[in-house]
Structure 1
Amino acid sequence: MTSVLLQRAMTDPGYAELRSLPEEVEVLLRSLEAPPRLGAHLRVVHEVAWQLADWVDRHHRGTRFDRHSMLFGAATHDIGKIAHPDELSGPGSAHERTGYELLLAQGFDEESARFARTHGSWTGPDVGMEDLLVSLADKVWKAKRVPELERLVVQRLATADGQPSWQVFMALDDELDRIAVDADRRLAFQASYPVGVRPS
């Protein structure tokens, strides 16, 4: 039953024709028997990451980032919650290190696995633009705004393009407001899938 619900979570068009996760991620989630809610969550964050990547590509062409790597990171950032399912419905950060180690054990390289480790803390010296965008997607999908994180994104964008910070901030603020409009629909989509299978 879990596999049926997980498959549905990964293929349900949802509230707005959600994009599919990368095929390698879908295969990984099935092989690890991921909770259906995790599949749904990764899809909504991945969708928001696509929107942010498109926005950066359109408005900040001087900003260099690895789009493929960032989207993979969004699609796998919470994979450690397979081992910590309580963190799917409550707070906790144990999944971050666990997810990183799980991805390495599954044969993914450090560059791909790092997002599981970095998405919850964005001030480390090795945090790149890709990491910041994954972290931002993981917050704004549910309309959560984190000023410290947004300031770091603004600084990177302004520096890369030579634009005034205030101008970048205002444009980013508008985009995050636009994305946040669908937060209730994303939350409802995620909540429609169980953390586990309830006994019948």
Structure 2
Amino acid sequence: MTSSMLEHALTNRPELPLRQLPDSAAAIVRVLDAPPRLAAHLRAVHDVACQLADWLKTTYDTVLFDADAVLFGAATHDIGKVLHPAELSGPGSAHEAAGQQLLLDQGVHESAARFARTHAAWTEPDIGMDDLLVSLADKIWKAKRVPELEQLIVQRVAAAGGQEPWQVFMMLDEELDRIAADADQRLAFQAAYPITTWTAPQKASDGIGSGRFG
């Protein structure tokens, strides 16, 4: 049975509109009875991934990527924190391999389960554009800029679109600044939900931590 707070995190319409998770991802979150704060975090990152995918399709339509894979990856990337809830409020990487295994155990194909591991491993040699976009969404949702990650995306987009890297960087930089402008509202939405399942939701102003980890 899904807790009321988890359901609230998955379906509530916050002041800053956030898309709901894909049905397949939301079903997994419910089955695993994920902490409400994790569900809120997944919604925030998924919404940013939607924005990035829409921007890329509109601005650089020659870049090949699987939008559905990116959105599912963003919606489940931190699912391993079901098993490692301390990493919802502090640093840690144990959730990455654990999350991939959790998704595999739920019948998710390896090609989709991999994002739970690759969202923090963008320097690995087999990382594709889909993985990079999930990684970027997981950073820029809270206005964190990672030049090395952004440069990898710039290089791939420039190669596919026939533009100079500096031109792509200017366009990407503008889009990331736009997305980052709403970071405080996304952080407040996440922080309003507890790490434990049965605590009532609170406003960010009530003194809950910012939840910047994740």
Category of TM-score, reference length = shorter chain: over 0.9
Contact 2:154 2:169 in 1 (8 A): yes
The farther-off stretch of 81-90 and 10-19 is 10-19
- 1:148 paired to 2:148: yes
Deviations 1:145-185 (A, max 9, x none): 00000000000100011111000001100100000000000
Q: CA RMSD in A?
A: 1.4
| Offset of residue 138 of structure 1 | 0.2
Please, what TM-score do these two structures have when normalized by structure 2? 0.91
SS at match of 1:160: helix
Partners of 2:99 and 2:21 in 1: how far apart?
17
Aligned pairs for 1:174-193 within 5 A: 174-193=174-193
Name the residue aligned to 2:39: 39
Unpaired runs of at least 5, structure 1: none
| Matches for 1:17-166 after TM superposition, within 5 Å | 17-166=17-166
Shift of 1:24: 1.4
Provide the aligned length of Structure 1 versus Structure 2.
200
Q: Once the two structures are aligned, what percentage of the paired residues are identical?
A: 63
How far apart in 1 are the matches of 2:173 and 2:119?
A: 20
Letter in 1 for 2:177: D
What letter corresponds to residue 106 of structure 1 in structure 2? Q
Normalised by the size of structure 1, how large is the TM-score?
A: 0.97
* Runs (4+) off by over 2 Å: 197-200
What are the ranges of 5 or more consecutive residues in structure 2 without an aligned counterpart? 201-214
2:88 and 2:15 map into 1 onto residues whose CA distance is 21
Is the 8 Å Cα contact of residues 16 and 186 (structure 2) preserved in structure 1?
Answer: no
- In the alignment, residue 37 of structure 1 is paired with which amino acid? R
Residues 2 and 36, structure 1, Cα contact 8 Å, conserved in 2: no
How far 1:17 sits from its partner (Å)? Answer: 2.2
- Displacement of 1:15 in angstroms is 2.7
* Matches of 2:199 and 2:109, distance apart in 1: 37
The structural deviation recorded for 1:2 is 7.0
Q: 1:7 and 1:198, CA in 2 relative to 1: closer, same or farther beyond 3 A? A: closer
Distance (whole Å) between structure 1 residues aligned to residue 145 and residue 41 of structure 2:
18
Deviations 1:15-39 (A, max 9, x none): 3221110111111111111000000
Report whether the alignment pairs 1:169 with 2:169: yes
